[in-house]
Amino acid sequence: MLTYTQTQLKKVAVHSVGNKSNGEDLHLSENLLDISDEKLHDLLLTFFNTI
């Protein structure tokens, strides 16, 4: 069984993937997301560990 008790979240990039059928493009982030806010950091860590 895998455990994620030692998981660290150091950097996050947010990209947007469009719908090819609608002619939407892929948009890549130019900057990293600022995750210095402890609440945001904890929320993202919980999200990534539960998917």
- Domain locations in the chain as residue ranges: 16-50
Query: Is the CB of residue 41 less than 8 Å from the CB of residue 35?
Result: yes
Summarised one tens digit per residue, pLDDT across range 22-34 is 999 999 999 999 9
pTM of the model: 0.68
Once rounded to an integer, what is the mean pLDDT over residues 27-42? Answer: 95
List alpha helices for 1-51, DSSP H: 38-50
C-alpha–C-alpha distance, residues 33 and 22, integer Å: 27
C-alpha–C-alpha distance, residues 18 and 45, integer Å: 25
Per DSSP, the three-state class of 16 is strand
Summarised one tens digit per residue, pLDDT across range 14-23 is 999 999 999 9
> Nearest Cα to 35, choosing from 14, 18, 7?
14
